[in-house]
Structure 1
Amino acid sequence: MTPSLKYEGALRRRARQLRRLIAAGGHRAAWGAAVVPAYWWDGHPNFGDALTPWLLPRYGIVPVYREPRRARLAGVGSLLEFFSSDYDGAIWGTGLMTDVEQRMPSASVLALRGPLTAERIGAGEVPYGDPGLLVARHVRRPARRSAVVAVPHGHHRGHEGLAALLASEPGRARTVNVHQRAGAAVREIASGEAVLTTSLHGLITADAYGIPAVWTVLEPALTGGDFKFRDYEAAVTPGRTRYVDFGDLRTLDDVQRLVRSADAARVTALADGLERSLARLTDVIPALPRYPLGVLRRQPHEV
């Protein structure tokens, strides 16, 4: 396959961008909305990374993918290591991947994933929460389909121990493929009574719908270890964690016994803060073009 035809290649990225622009027009809030050069991870398909272009048109913002040096908005995900210390655009619900200090004094921080990221980048008091908490405001929870829904990180899809646990009682558990579009993955996760995850956005989606969840760690270890989980939980469940050692999950009964829900009132407060913070975007990034005028006139290699 030629480089341009790979998922991260120029042709396929342009095709995805065009589909997203067309899809944005299906949301009344996006008509005449601000068009924002934004960065999210687009190196492979993953529903959590796809939340930036999925969510923002619903709030009257149309993101257009740009590499970090050209972006004016950092979106959903563990992305801040990709930006330079002199970045002067906006940050909305973004986090660090690793436990490192990375001061960003010129950035306009609308919201951050959690207080650990805030401390590492030198931010003051700002709203916390991952924007994935907003999905339940746009997708109705489907009917229950499984007692346990497992959301393994892409690195863990072939984990033998996890596969054996889920297969121990046929029909009681199902696995969500994170390498799919945002809406489809959200609906699958929301159809469970309990969520077992090694993917952060599996936990976040569970919290958005008030579904009790537990997260664990499998091999291979994720880049940054558990920092992004601790950062998120410090915002949503301060002082406690839903982490359980995988060795303690011997049966599906163990999963259902050990899952815990985030406080619904706190989730609502964080989601409200994330929505309010978006209202400041056009103040901190002035003179943005409006959708659809000017969008498709971008240089092809930048779309």
Structure 2
Amino acid sequence: MIKFAIIIREHIKLLLHPVIINAFVFYQNDKRIKHENWGDDINYYFLREIIKQPVTLFNRTSLAFRLKLRNYLVIGSTIDMLCTQNTEVWGAGIIDGDKPLRVKPKKVYAVRGPLSRKKLLAEGVNCPEIYGDPAMLLPLYYRPNRNKRYQYGIISHVSNQAIIENLHLNGKPLNEHKNVQIIHMGRYAHWHDIIDQICECEAILSSSLHGLIMAEAYRIPNVWLEFGRPLIGGHFKFHDFFLSIHRDRESPVMIEGQEIPLEVIAFKLSEWKRGSIDLNLLMNACPFRLRKAEYSL
């Protein structure tokens, strides 16, 4: 009886003609989204606020698997990991440019950056020259009114968050500095919280790609960090994004010990110039209807 009720509920969902988002977004036992990685989670939280149709997650609708329904990759480095035979891409990217695609997307409207496009073209996938991580559209829909409270906001990828807890600045632990905010991409109450925290900082130091993307989107100077070993796929996704905004960077600032090299950080910040990208192209390429933006570009 319970199984039958679940099937009926899924049929009703599909009758609403939802946009089916394929992403690394997972649920807890209480049916709420588990806050593991903000950069993945906004595939649900942000998109359901800007898309006019209902939004549902591919991994929460078993009928979508069985019926092989059309699904979308939007935010994240997921093209080479989550593609199915009926996947369409609007803004997602590739995580590793050296490995062949396991499954090729059915259609591509836009990709995160030119490196993802180059890889898709090499694999025989038609890909227009339209770039942009859709998370860059966030300032069109949400602009927090926050005062600058911190000199630095420090963000790590969720896989090396523990390293940050042991870092020092001027010989003192980060959490003892009143002008430093440690931003956890896997720890937030409301998804707006991460943006609020980023916007409270004069500069962002981040090993998380979406930490850097949000800093660029909200026009905050930022420095690319790396803690120890490179992430999965190395630097591919970072260069892919930087090239999309016409501001590629040679390499990250390596944090190998416990001390953040302030002189290097200061030099990188002095070199920083905001990137540029025509987000109108990305929005015009969107395969589903977007709500009217509240703010201008």
Q: Identify the TM-score tier after normalising by the shorter chain.
A: 0.7 to 0.9
Match of 1:73 in 2: 72
Counterpart in 2 of 1:231? 240
Taking structure 2 as the reference length, what is the TM-score of the superposition? 0.72
The one-character-per-residue Cα deviations of 1:128-149 (angstroms, maximum 9, x if unpaired) are 0111111122221421121000
One-letter identity of the residue aligned with 2:74: G
Q: 1:206 is matched with which residue?
A: 215
Structure 2: distance between partners of 1:119 and 1:158:
35
Q: 1:239 to 1:189 in 2, by over 3 A?
A: closer
1:257 paired to 2:255: no
Q: How many residues align?
A: 248
* CA apart distance, 1:41: 0.8
Partner SS for 1:76: coil
Computed over aligned residues only, the root mean square deviation of the Cα atoms, in angstroms, reads 3.1
Unaligned runs of 5+ in 2: 1-5, 7-12, 27-33, 290-297
Cα drift, residue 273 of structure 1:
2.2
Q: Counterpart amino acid of 2:128?
A: E
Give the Cα separation in 1 of the matches to 2:182 and 2:233: 24
What is the CA distance between 1:103 and its match in structure 2?
A: 8.1
SS at match of 2:108: strand
CA contact (8 A) 1:34 1:60 kept: no
Is the Cα–Cα contact under 8 Å of residues 154 and 180 in structure 2 kept in the other structure?
A: yes
SS in 1 for 2:192: helix
What do residues 234-262 of structure 1 show as CA deviations (whole Å, max 9, x unaligned)?
A: 11134545732336984445424312545
Deviation of 1:170 after TM superposition, in Å, equals: 1.5
Aligned-pair identity (%): 22
Q: Distance in 2 between matches of 1:61 and 1:196?
A: 36
What does residue range 175-254 of structure 1 map to in structure 2 within 5 Å? 175-179=182-186, 180=188, 181-241=190-250, 243-246=252-255, 250-252=260-262, 254=264
Report the CA distance shift for 1:261/1:35 in structure 2 as closer, same or farther (over 3 A). farther
Structure-2 residue corresponding to 1:36: 19
Farther-moved stretch of structure 1 (111-120 vs 122-131): 122-131
- Separation in structure 2 between the aligned mates of residue 116 and residue 87 of structure 1, nearest angstrom: 22
Alignment of 1:164-179 (within 5 A): 164-165=168-169, 167=173, 170-179=177-186
- The normalised TM-score by structure 1 is 0.71
Alpha-carbon deviations, 1:94-125, whole Å to 9, x = none? 01111233286662212101111111122433
Q: 1:54 maps to which residue?
A: 45
The code of the aligned residue for 1:208 comes to A
Post-superposition offset of 1:167: 2.9
User: Structure 1 residues 54 and 160 mapped into 2: Cα distance closer, same or farther (>3 Å)?
Assistant: closer
Q: Which runs of 5+ in 1 are unaligned?
A: 1-13, 15-20, 22-32, 283-303
Superimposed CA distance per residue, residues 61-112 of structure 1 (whole angstroms, 9 cap, x where no aligned partner): 432001395451112111112345x623321110111123328666221210
